Amino acid sequence: MPRIANVDQLKKMRDEARMKRAKLVSEKVIVNVSLATCGIASGGEKVMAAMQAEVKKQGLGNVVFLTTGCMTYCHSEPTVQVCLPGKKPVVFGKLDEVSARRLVENYIVKGEPVGTVIPVNYVRVTL
């Protein structure tokens, strides 16, 4: 791990991290799986495994799975956020292994939203 020696290096790290992420978002399908204690308890890991298996089965090479903490939607867990290149991220909830596979088939492959879509009901402060 490189030691960050001064403020300029920290800002460089920030810019690099932002560029890396922008590149990823523009090229790949990003699947964020909500895996806090609550998400794991409601089956988030199984949903992720099912989606990964389906991605593999369909031979999709451009899907990246990432994990995050709590997405705050206890009422609809497990939840995943899918971000198709050039599109706004969409959060899907109440998933199980079956609907997770369907999500890959319909949304990631064909771009058709399926199942429970959770509307964005907040403003996120970004720094």
Partner 1 sequence: MEVIKQLRIATRNCGFIDPENIEDYFAERGYEALANALVSGSPAQVIEEMKRSGLRGRGGGGFPTGLKWQYAAGNTADQKYVVCNADEGDPGAFMDRAVLEGDPHSVVEAMAICGYAIGATRGVVYIRAEYPLAIKRLQKAIDDARGYGLLGTDILGTGFVFDIELKYGAGAFVCGEETALIRSMEGNRGEPYTKPPFPANSGYWHKPTVVNNVETFANIPAILIKGAEWFASIGTEKSKGTKVFALAGKIRNVGLIEVPMGTTLKEVIFEIGCGCPGNKKFKAVQTGGPSGGALTNSDLDVPIDYDNLIAKGSMMGSGGMIVMDEDTCMVDFAKFFLEFTMDETCGKCTPCRIGSRRLHEMLERITLGKGCEDDIDKLKMLANTIKDTALCGLGQTMPNPVLSTIDSFMDEYRAHVIDHKCPAGVCSKLLEIRILPEKCVGCTLCARICPVNCISGKIRETHVIDREVCIKCGACIDKCKFGAIVKV
Residues of this chain that bind partner 1 (CB under 8 A): 1-7, 10-11, 13-14, 16-18, 20-21, 32, 34, 36-38, 40, 66-75, 81, 119-127
Write down the least CB distance from residue 98 to partner 1, Å: 23
Closest by Cα among 71, 79, 89 to 51: 79
Write down the least CB distance from residue 9 to partner 1, Å: 8
Q: Quick one: CA torsion of 84, 66, 93, 22, rounded to 10 degrees?
A: -30
- Nearer to partner 1 by Cβ, of 41 and 98: the residue is 41
CB atoms within 10 A of CB 32: 18
CB atoms within 10 A of CB 93: 20
**Owner of token pair 């867990």:** 77
- Nearer to partner 1 by Cβ, of 13 and 60: the residue is 13
- Nearer to partner 1 by Cβ, of 70 and 109: the residue is 70
- Nearer to partner 1 by Cβ, of 5 and 61: the residue is 5
